[in-house]
Amino acid sequence: MRVSTVAAAAVLVLSPVPGQAHGPGEHHQVRDHQAEHHPAAQQMAQARPAQQQQQQQGANWHPSRYGANDTIGAMNLLTPQKVLEAARLVQRGQVYRLGVPVGRETPAYPPRNAAVTILMPDQHGGAIVPSENKVSYVDDMFTGWLGVGSQLDGFGHLGIDNVFYNGNRAEDFVRTTGVTKLGIENVPPMVTRGVLVDMARARNKPMLEEGEVITAEDLQAAMRDQGVQLRQGDVILIHTGWVEMLERDPARFGKGEPGIDAGAAEWLAGQGVVAVGADTWGVEAVPFKNPNRVWEGHQILLAKNGVHILEVMDTRGLARDRATEFLFVLGQPLLKGAVQAMINPIAIR
């Protein structure tokens, strides 16, 4: 990706964002807790066809279909019934780690970086903690951005003209000390059915190329061939093979990527998914087809539809085993006032 493209995109992506939460004593179980706030939300979403949902992606994209005060978007669709349905997919007890290790050398969207510094406080020169049993301990200090490596994008991460999910304006909730609404700590646990779409297999090659676009029609065709369908409340992960570049050529990995276009983002939002993920750092195709229109897919998913984005998912194991559906489990760090979080989701078959 050209430096000019990165700079242009940075204007949109690197603004701070959200944080509104349930009280500290509330249980973040996957339950019908949003129905407690919006009793008709789930029924309305289930009854509304995809085309009608997509109409909300035009000029009038807020208030949210889940209510004017909603802060969790499509996560309203996660119910105990959905969890039970997903749990029945576990037949082998096979577990896949979807996160990638993060270190000082991990490529990230400029100017992001991350570092761990190891300390032995007050134990210089071989000293120990004053004690008869000679205690020694090591601590670590993290310095960096939360949008490095495998990550969850919250709704406060990216908006449209300083307006974020459900009409929340940056001036009202974005603070340097943490967002006061749409914070990552308010995202409920994500326990649901996961679907893998192997676009590398669909195109009969080990890896898609930089800027290679995946359309809604491409996703539909690949799912037909791979015998899997999306259902309301699912998480979809797209395998492009690009994650291989993270180890083989980190510089190339961070400069561009294959990914979806705006039309695919609209279609996915219309299917009622709760999150869209990929084995790339931005889910969308980069370089952008139109360099003057950047991160439209993020705007459609996050701001307009309340659908989370999962980046740098290690889908290699699932693709290797041709796993098309699985139990997906994510409990992100509850970093108060953050708009992103480093994550390590788990897929179980």
Say which residue, 38 or 249, is predicted with more confidence. Answer: 249
Residue 92 predicted with pLDDT over 50: yes
Per-residue pLDDT tens for 304-336? 999 999 999 999 999 999 999 999 999 999 999
Amino acid in position 48: R
CA triplet 186, 110, 142: central angle to 5 degrees?
A: 55
Distance CA 159, CA 133 (A): 55
CB atoms within 10 A of CB 144: 16
Q: What is the pLDDT of residue 214?
A: 98
Per-residue pLDDT tens for 191-207? 999 999 999 999 999 99
Residue 291 predicted with pLDDT over 70: yes
Question: What is the mean predicted confidence (pLDDT) over 257-264?
Answer: 98
Residue 171 predicted with pLDDT over 60: yes
Q: What is the pLDDT of residue 32?
A: 41
**Torsion sign (Cα): 339, 143, 190, 259:** positive
Q: Are strands 275-278 and 235-239 parallel, antiparallel or unpaired?
A: parallel
Distance CA 307, CA 33 (A): 18
Q: What is the pLDDT of residue 20?
A: 34
Look at domain 3-109+149-348 and name its CATH class. Answer: alpha beta
Question: What is the mean predicted confidence (pLDDT) over 157-184?
Answer: 98
With H, G, I as helix, E, B as strand and everything else as coil, classify residue 290.
coil
Of 9-23, 145-159, 162-176, 208-222, the range with the lowest mean pLDDT is 9-23
Instruction: Please tell me the number of Cα atoms within 13 Å of 212 on its side-chain side.
Output: 15
Residue indicated by tokens 């990914």: 259
pLDDT confidence band for 54 (50 / 70 / 90): very low
CA distances (Å), origin 265, targets 96, 120, 188, 307: 26, 47, 22, 10
Say which residue, 126 or 216, is predicted with more confidence. Answer: 216
Residues of the chain with CATH 3.50.30.50: 3-109+149-348
Residue 116 predicted with pLDDT over 60: yes
pLDDT confidence band for 53 (50 / 70 / 90): very low
Contact 191, 184 (CB under 8 A): no
Question: What is the mean predicted confidence (pLDDT) over 285-302?
Answer: 97
Distance CA 174, CA 20 (A): 11
Mean pLDDT for all residues in the chain = 87
Distance CA 274, CA 173 (A): 23
> Residue 245 is encoded by which pair of tokens?
């570049």
Per-residue pLDDT tens for 7-45? 333 333 333 333 333 333 334 443 343 333 343 344 334
Instruction: Please tell me the number of Cα atoms within 13 Å of 238 on its side-chain side.
Output: 36
Distance CA 50, CA 124 (A): 63
Distance CA 177, CA 187 (A): 19
Q: What is the pLDDT of residue 50?
A: 42
Q: What is the pLDDT of residue 59?
A: 67
Percent of the chain with pLDDT over 90: 82
